Every structure is written in C-alpha cells, then in structure tokens.
Amino acid sequence: MSSIFLRIYGGLLFTLVLVAVLSGMSVTLINGQRLGEYREDMVRGTFRLVSESLQELPEQERQSWLDEWAYRVAIPFSIVPVAEAELSDKALGHMDRSGVYIQMLDDNRALVSTRLGESQLLQGSVLNISEQIINGTLSLLREKLLRYEPEMRGQRLQELSEKSFSYPVHLLRETQTRLLPVQQEELRQGSMLVLLDDEGQSISMYTSLPDTGELLRLGPLRLLNPYPFKLMISIGLFVLTSISLAIYILVRGMEKRLRRLERAATRFSRGDFDVRVSIGGTDSIGRLASAFNAMAGYIQRLLSLQKEMIRGVSHELRTPVARLRFGLDLVADAQTSEEREKQLEGMDKDIEELDNLVDEFLTYANLEQGAPEIRYKRHDVDKVVAQVVSEYGRLQDRVTIEHIPCNVLDPRRFADVDRRYIHRAIQNLVGNACRYASGRVQVRFSSTQETCRVDIDDDGPGIAESEWDRVFSAFTRLDDSRTRNTGGYGLGLSIVRRIMYWHNGRAMVSHSPMGGARFSLVWPRKQRR
C-alpha cells in the first residue's frame, strides 16, 4: 500500500505547490489592482485641484505657479498637449470618467494624467503616496477656500469634494473636534496636524483657516493593507477547497478501481471463474489487480486440471482394476497351483501398473498445480543423456539406442538444471521413442553460449504436423500409428512440457531425418536464481 500513500502524497504535494503558486499570483494581481485604485484615489483630488487652479490663472502666470506647487507637493508637474500624450481612447475615456488616469512606469513610479482644458493634459510622476503630497493638497485646498467668502466656503468645499476627492473633506468648527488644547494651539499657529486612528488603519489631517475659528480636515484616509482579513480568508478558502478537491479526485479514482476489483472478487467467489479485472497502473492497486488476475487464472487452471485428472484417473484405473477383479475370479476358480501362480503373477503386474500410474499422476499434479521445488545446480547434461541411454539400453532388445557424443567444449556441457527433473524429461522422451521406433533411436546433446538442446530421433511412423500442438496435452493419445497398444498413460509428454516450463525452456516436436519423430528440449544454460 506504500505506493498508494506515495501517490496521494505526491498528488497533495503537487496540489500544494500549484495552489501556493496560484495563491501568490492571485495576491500579487489583486494587490496590484488594489494599489492602482488606492493610488488613483489618493492623487485624484490633488491633480484636480492643481488643474482647476491653473485654469483660473492667466496664461503667463501658470508655469511659475505650477513650479511652486510641484515643489510643495513633491510631484514634478508638466503640461502636455493631448495629441502628444500617446494615450489611447480607452485611457482618455477612463480619465474622463474617474478624473485621472494612472500609467505605471515601473514597479514604484506612476505617471498620473488629468484634463487641463480640452486640448491639454496635466501630468506628474508620483513615486509613492507620501505625507508631503497630502500636506501640499491640504495647503492648496486651504488657499483655494480662502479666496471665497466665509458663507460660500462650505458650499464650494462640498462641490470640490464631490467632484475631485474620494475621501472625506470637512470644514469644522474647533468646538466640533475632539482635539486637545495643545493640538488646537498648534493649528492656530499655522501647523498641520496628522492623527492616526486607534486601530492604525487610517489617518486624518487638520489645518486651520486663519482668523476664522474653522478647521479643514482631510480624511480619514485609509491606509493600504496588503493583506486584509477578507483577502486572506478568501485565499485560505481557495487553498482548502483546492486541497479538498485534489484529495477527492485522488481518492475517488482509487475507490472506483477498488470497487471494480471488489465486484470481480464477488463474481469469482460465486463461481464465475472467467472474470478478470482490467485495471492498469504500476501502483499497489494495479499490482493487486494483476495478482488477482494471476490468482484467478491459477485457480481456474487448477480446477480444470482437477476435472481433467478426475476424468483421466477414472478412465485409466478402470482397465487395471477390471483386470485385477477378473484375476481374482480366476484365482478362485484355479484348479492347480500352477494356474494360481500364473494369475497371481498377472495380478502383480497389474498392481505394478497401478503403482506406475499413481506415480505419473502425482508427478504431473506436482508440476501442474504449483511451483515445484526446483534446485538448480551446474551439471554435465551430456552425462545425464548418456546415463539415460545406458539405462534404457540394458532394457531394450528390440530397439538400438545410440548416444551421439557432444562435440562442444567441456564448459558448454554444463548448465543450470535440476538433475532429477531433467533426467525424468529425457527418460520420458527416450522411452516414448523406444515404444514407437522401428529399430533405432538416436539421442544427442548440443549447446551454444546461451542455450542447451537435447534431440531424440526415432525411425518410427512419425507424427502428423496437425497433431504437433496436441501431442503434449495430458491424457492425449494419437489415433494413427501411435495407438494405445503401445502402452503409456498419455502423461509422459505433459510431464516433459511442465519440466521445461519450470526450466524456462520449451519442448518441441518435428520430423526426424531418420523418418520418424524428433522431440527436442531447449532451455537456457544459465538460470536466474
């Protein structure tokens, strides 16, 4: 299950990195937009005041007045014709709607433009929103109000506030404020007063109108907080939602795959042994599905083998058991001891046949049902071939068995094999060749750098090519010249095939140069331990 956790962990880590990047980009974009709006709100009143004041002055006095106030508000102003400003129609439209247009020159400096009549623009480069800009704005507003009669100042200030300022601008009596006496005295002496609210979120600026008892207040002006609570809550909800969605997608996909595996297991438990799971992937679930498919195929093969074994055993046991029963009847009816001895000898052969049959069944079942205990060791395969030929040569009178000596170098005669099983495979093939040969059988061993090969040839009737695929099946007997009269149980070649399977090799049949059949065993010289 570690790969599942690694997959979830990797998915969450990727999601966290992606969400962190997106959150950072979102905060940067949002704060950039907020900073632009904040800068626009702060400088709109200043630029509109300067523009109006310029338009009220004679043409020859404008430049000197503009230079003076550029110094006082720390903004280098310039007057530019609209045609030379290189502003798009969209920018001009925005300027007409909001009063100013801000164009970022770099990360800190902004070029602010506002209308100065129909054909000119007032432009100024603003580095940041400083106290000097606000002080200058307050001074400019105070001088503008002093030009009006006292009874007109309130109305004019309201018009200016609605037209140019995005923050409150008030004209107050000293008695309407909560300023300390010391602060009021400073204002009477011509100073400007800057007050920060209790929460540190905004400031208010005061100045007095001389000899009027009135105070001019700008603000409260909100300070830009780059990480406001609502923004952080929104980003946090975005992060939580993204992570939750990522977890849901990851778990949902694995849950679907596990449900398919569960349904397949349920069908298999109800007897549908053909069911398989088509789940890809190299994670734990994919490997579990592959293991399930392998298990299902293995169990299906075992059940098929069991049915095959039951049919084969019942069929093969019937003949020797019938002969034993018949022999018992003959022993009971025997008149002389010679007749009894003859029948008992025949019964003994039937029992020996049963014993051999049981041995073949057990060997076949052991090789088919599971992984037998294969012990690979380096052996001289040619010596194993010579031993089998010697053993059969002493038992055969009808057939001549020839061992063709191996002509390869000594090291190549050695291979990784289980001697017991390789001996059994060669023995089965030699015995099979002896049963069907007319008079000669040849056995030879050969090898290359990578593989070993044993060929058994006979001069018998051979096997038709149409039967080559079927000859290694269990309980198979061919109908033509290789009939049941030659003996055997139909398991010898199946055992050979399984021995070669466990040696990572294969058993083959073909035509022999001697006219009969050639059976060949091929397997790698070196086995993976």
Q: Which range, 14-28, 120-134, 400-414, has the best average confidence (pLDDT)?
A: 400-414
pLDDT at 485: 45
Q: Among 122-136, 361-375, 426-440, name the one with the lowest average pLDDT.
A: 361-375
- pLDDT band of residue 524 (cuts 50, 70, 90) is very high
pLDDT in tens, 74-108: 788 888 888 888 888 888 888 888 888 888 777 77
- SS3 of 200-221: the string is CCEEEEEEEECCCCEEEEEEEE
Q: Report the distance separating Cα 87 and Cα 315, nearest Å.
A: 102
The pLDDT value recorded for residue 18 is 78
Gap between the Cα atoms of 89 and 92, Å rounded = 5
Q: Which of 141-150, 282-291, 487-496 has the lowest mean pLDDT?
A: 487-496
The rounded distance, in Å, linking the Cα atoms of 302 and 290 is 18
Contacts with 98 (C-beta within 8 Å, 6 or more apart), sequence order: 40, 44
Q: Cα–Cα distance between 145 and 53 in angstroms, integer?
A: 11
Was domain 373-524 assigned CATH 3.20.20.80?
Answer: no
Which one, of 65, 96, 97, lies nearest residue 79 by Cα? 65
Tell whether the model's pLDDT for residue 284 goes beyond 60. yes
- 289: closest CA among 261, 254, 265, 256? 261
Amino acid at site 53:
S
Predicted local distance difference test score (pLDDT) of residue 3:
57
**What pLDDT digit, counting tens, does each position of 203-253 carry?**
788 888 877 778 888 778 777 777 777 778 888 888 888 888 877 787 787
**Residue pLDDT, tens place only, 243-269:** 888 777 877 878 888 888 888 888 888
Q: Which amino acid is at 517?
A: A
Q: What are the domain boundaries of the chain?
A: 1-129, 132-226, 311-368, 373-524
Percent over 70 (pLDDT), the chain: 88
Enter the CATH code of domain 1-129: 3.30.450
pTM reported for the whole predicted model? 0.46
Of residues 524 and 57, more confidence is placed in 524
Distance CA 227, CA 230 (A): 8
pLDDT of residue 443: 94
User: Do 1-129 and 373-524 show the same overall fold?
Assistant: no
Mean pLDDT of all residues in 342-355: 77
- In sequence order, the 6+-apart residues with CB closer than 8 A to the CB of 443 are 385, 388, 389, 401, 402, 403, 404, 426, 430, 454, 455, 456, 457
365 contact partners, CB below 8 Å, separation of at least 6:
305, 309
Top pLDDT among 482 and 395 is at 395
- The vertex-508 CA angle with 504 and 513, nearest 5°, equals 140
CA distances from 317 to 164, 310, 313, 428, 434 (A): 113, 10, 6, 21, 24
Residue 519 binned pLDDT confidence (cut-offs 50, 70, 90): very high
Residue 21 clears pLDDT 60, i.e. is over it: yes
Q: Which CATH architecture has domain 132-226?
A: 2-Layer Sandwich (3.30)
Total H helices, total E strands in the chain: 12, 15
DSSP for 404-467 reads E---S-GGGGEEEE-HHHHHHHHHHHHHHHHHH-SSEEEEEEEE-SSEEEEEEEE-S----GGG
